[in-house]
Amino acid sequence: MKDLDQVDLPQDCRYAESHEWAKSDGDRIKVGISDYAQDQLGDIVFVELPEVGDSLEKGAEFGTVESVKAVSEIYMPVAGEVVEINTDLEDAPEKVNNAPYAEGWMIAVKPSNAGDLDGLMDHEAYRASLKG
């Protein structure tokens, strides 16, 4: 596992306590799990995601990530309607391990409350929360 100083936490993302990231992408928000979360899980072998069109509240479970170690739920960092899912993860779930903020993103949502993003932690606050 990585040392906390080695964990990649991009400054243009916001983070939830449950280790999801959210990033503004035009009029939508891309969501995935943080580098810290994927590192803790180990090799990811399966990702279950919602359907396009699903509307989910902030904090609602939107899928699961299965690794060689465990199955973990993933939660909505913002409320909104799912407008796209990363279908590449069906055949290549390891993209979440290799590039959690790029090819390993999970869903894109049309936010129902733009203020949800501002309520998440910035990279410095998230790193501080990881240190305990």
The first and second tokens of residue 66, run together, are: 């299965």
- CB burial of residue 92 (10 Å; 0-12, 13-18, 19+): middle
- In percent, the amount of the chain with pLDDT more than 90 equals 95
Residues 85-102 pLDDT 10s? 999 999 999 999 999 999
User: What is the rounded average pLDDT of the residues 14-36?
Assistant: 97
Is residue 131 very low, low, confident or very high in pLDDT (cuts 50, 70, 90)? Answer: very high
For the entire predicted model, the pTM comes to 0.96
Secondary structure (H, E, C), 71-128:
EEEEECCCCEEEEEECCHHHHCCCHHHHCCCCCCCCEEEEECCCHHHHCCECHHHHHH
The full set of domains in the chain, from first to last, is: 22-131 (2.40.50.100)
Q: CA nearest 20: which of 34, 8, 10?
A: 34
Residue 118 is predicted with a pLDDT of 95
